[in-house]
Chain A
Amino acid sequence: MDSSIKMWAEKVSFFYGSTQALKSVSINIFKNQVTALIGPSGCGKSTFIRLFNRMNELVVNTRLTGRIYIDEENINSSCIDAVDIRRRVGMVFQKPNPFPKSIFDNIAYGLRVNGIKDKDIIEERVVQTLKKAALWDEVKCRLKESALGLSGGQQQRLCIARCLAVETEVILFDEPCASLDPISTGKIEELILELKKDYTIVIVTHNMQQAARVSDFTGFFLLGELVEFGKTSDIFTAPKDKRTEAYITGRFG
């Protein structure tokens, strides 16, 4: 396999009970690139990215066929621990979901559950990741205050910082700006572009301008199928499939 590919899916189908949510999806996710997944609601994008950190396992009565690899490793093989995968593949959710703890503890939590006990190391990493998430200047004087007192956009950047602290390799964004105003959205997008130097990023979004602005590759999902995948510039200027063209020009969805 090409060394620029960080993760890939091979003929992945996924079922909730008897409903098929994904139909034989194959995709390559490139290292240090932003891959956007677009498509109408309920087309399986979120279900799909949650396969990369094995979050769908938490839903009862589901079934997966096909294979998913990260760094040439089949993440669903029996010798691999989901907990380990989730540390390597971080996730930022649709609604900001900080813990009802202080700003400091929100970030320190991931370090502590991963076995780091040394207070100095924890403190250093918290500061470092807050800076990386472009949140440090706004919160440096209130680290001991509850994270719930932050604005929605700040909370979301805190959630991103929380991922970065555990030294994740991949960050999955599941519609990270769905509940944010345009200014906060702008800040998150800037941050995503900054982070791609060090991380591989997959972002699910309903906002096509957002996909065009931040991503290098785009995949278009429809009814559980990956209709088209390619360079973002190609998808948005010269889509090969009629359905992709119809969607990005706003004729349905």
Chain B
Amino acid sequence: MKKDITQNIGFFILFACIIVTLFFLGTIIYFIFTRGIQIISWDFLTQPPRNAMTEGGVAPVIVGTLYLTLGAMVFAVPLGLACAVYLCEYSPKSIVVNIIRISINNLAGVPSVVFGLFGLAVFVNFLNFGVSILSGSLTLGILALPLIISASQEALVAVPHSIREASLSLGASKWETIKRIVLPTALPGILTGVILSIGRVAGETAPILFTAAAFYKRGYPKSIFSEVMALPYHIYALMTEGTHPDKQKAIAYGCSLILLFLVLFISGIAIYLRQRQRSYHG
């Protein structure tokens, strides 16, 4: 009997933890949703801001976030994938390579504001790209690199040794084996990593603070050297500056809701792909 009681208490504590977690999650979504939904309309999604950002929509802001995210991926995906292929398939087992691996993992733990400062120093000032989509994308790309590398490495390691051997035994070279067998097999896993990092990158504020984001910019960005408005920074700006706090607050909640949905949508795709990968490997 005593065992039963301890067990029940244990279950209860675990259950309570779940409830508390769900409560916070639910509250956040409810809070953002109820406050944000009022302002969402077709115009809000398609019009630029008007009257010192107290009216109108946030279309250029959404576009800015999309540009930055896309730019970051264009830079980070090929580079990250190449690194992962090298580390998994080609690198000799040595202390140096182990140090590289550990460094990449540690890179994932660096606070994002540090990446922001790095971007300011290197891309904005040293390479003279200025505060621009290019600098912001590169900075966000560096932030996404360790995520993409480790996800890709995991996916590559999961490809069974037996099918690599099969490919080599048919007279395929190592490179052909990687290109035609290993990478296609690992693709769903790699995509999952890429998509999760898109979700992360889209929501980051600190890395673009000094490298890409503008408080207000008229119209849409014209080139990769333009400053942009982006959702996370726009929320910050609306809440901390300006002359009509109430009106701005409403817009900020609208932006939060859009960002939340954007990230949820992207994660949804990741889950779908992972599911497909599982059924594929049967």
Q: Which residues of A come within 8 Å of B, CB atoms?
A: 53, 55, 58, 60, 83-84, 86-87, 90-91, 93, 95, 97-101, 109-110, 112-114, 146, 148-149, 159, 162-163, 166
Contact (A148, B282) CB under 8 Å given A93-B165, A159-B166: yes
B160 lies within 8 A of chain A by Cβ: yes
Are the CB atoms of B168 and A55 closer together than 8 Å? yes
Alpha-carbon gap, A86 to B168, bound state (A): 7
19 contacts between A and B (CB under 8 A): A53-B169, A55-B165, A58-B168, A86-B170, A90-B169, A91-B165, A91-B169, A97-B166, A99-B163, A99-B167, A99-B185, A101-B184, A113-B167, A113-B170, A113-B173, A159-B166, A162-B166, A166-B170, A166-B171
Q: Which residues of A contact B171 (CB under 8 A)?
A: 83-84, 86-87, 110, 113-114, 166
Measured between beta carbons, the chain B residues less than 8 angstroms from A99 are 163, 166-167, 181, 185
New A-B contacts (17) at CB < 8 Å, excluding given A86-B171, A109-B167: A55-B169, A83-B171, A84-B171, A86-B168, A86-B169, A93-B162, A93-B166, A93-B169, A98-B163, A99-B181, A100-B163, A100-B185, A101-B184, A113-B170, A114-B170, A114-B171, A146-B280
B166 — which chain A residues lie within 8 A by C-beta?
93, 97-99, 159, 162
Residue B172 is within 8 A (CB to CB) of chain A in the complex: yes
A109 neighbours in B (Cβ, 8 Å): 167, 170, 172, 180-181
- Give the chain A neighbours of B282 by CB distance below 8 A: 146, 148-149
B118 → chain A, closest Cβ, in Å?
37
CA distance in complex: A145, B171 (Å): 24
- Is residue B218 contacting chain A, with contact meaning CB distance below 8 A? no
Pair A97/B165 contact, Cβ less than 8 Å: yes
A109, B167: Cα distance in complex, Å: 8
B93 and chain A: residue at smallest CB distance = A60
| Chain B, interface residues (CB within 8 Å), range | 20 to 34
Q: Is there an interface contact between A90 and B168, defined as CB atoms closer than 8 Å?
A: no
* A162 & B170 in contact (Cβ 8 Å cutoff): yes
Kindly state the separation between the CA atoms of A49 and B160 in the bound complex, as whole angstroms: 22
CA A38 – CA B281 in complex, angstroms? 34
A-contact 0/1 string along B168-190, CB 8 Å cutoff: 11111100100011001100000
In the complex, what residues of B have CB within 8 A of residue A91's CB? Answer: 165, 169
Assess whether A97 is in contact with B170, with CB atoms less than 8 Å apart.
no
Q: How many residue pairs, one in A and one in B, have C-beta atoms under 8 Å apart? A: 74
B160 — nearest CB in chain A belongs to which residue? A97
> Are A83 and B173 touching (Cβ within 8 A)?
yes
Contact of B172 among A83, A100, A101 (CB under 8 A): A83
**Which residues of chain A have C-beta atoms less than 8 A from B184's C-beta?**
100-101
Q: Which of B33-69 contact A (CB under 8 A)?
A: none
**Smallest Cβ distance from B1 to chain A, in angstroms?**
49
Chain A proximity of B123: nearest CB distance (Å): 40
Interface residues of B in 57-104 (CB under 8 A from A): 93
A84 to B168, CA, bound (A): 10
CB-nearest residue of chain A relative to B181? A99
A-B CB proximity, top 6 nearest: A87-B171, A97-B162, A110-B170, A113-B172, A91-B169, A97-B166
Query: Which chain A positions have C-beta within 8 A of B181?
Result: 99, 109
Contacts of B170 in A (CB 8 A): 86-87, 90, 109-110, 113-114, 162-163, 166
- Nearest CB in chain A: distance from B166 CB, A: 5
Complex Cα distance A100/B180, Å?
11
Shortest beta-carbon distance from B176 to chain A in Å: 5
How far is the CB of A29 from the nearest CB of chain B, in Å? 17
Which residues of B are found within 8 Å of A100, using beta-carbon distances? 163, 184-185, 280-281
B159: nearest residue on chain A (CB-CB)?
A: A100
Chain A residue contacts of B180, Cβ below 8 A:
109, 112-113
B130 to chain A, nearest CB (A): 47
How far is it, in angstroms, between the C-alpha of A58 and the C-alpha of B163 when the chains are bound? 14
Q: In the complex, what residues of A have CB within 8 A of residue B172's CB?
A: 83, 109-110, 113
How many angstroms from the CA of A60 to the CA of B170 in the assembled complex? 21
Inside 8 A of A166's CB, which chain B residues have their CB?
A: 170-171
Whole-angstrom CA separation of A114 from B165 in the bound complex:
16
Complex: A162 Cα to B280 Cα, angstroms: 21
Report the bound CA distance from A110 to B168 in whole Å: 10
A12, B280: Cα distance in complex, Å: 43
Task: Check if B168 sits within 8 Å of A95, measured CB to CB.
Answer: no
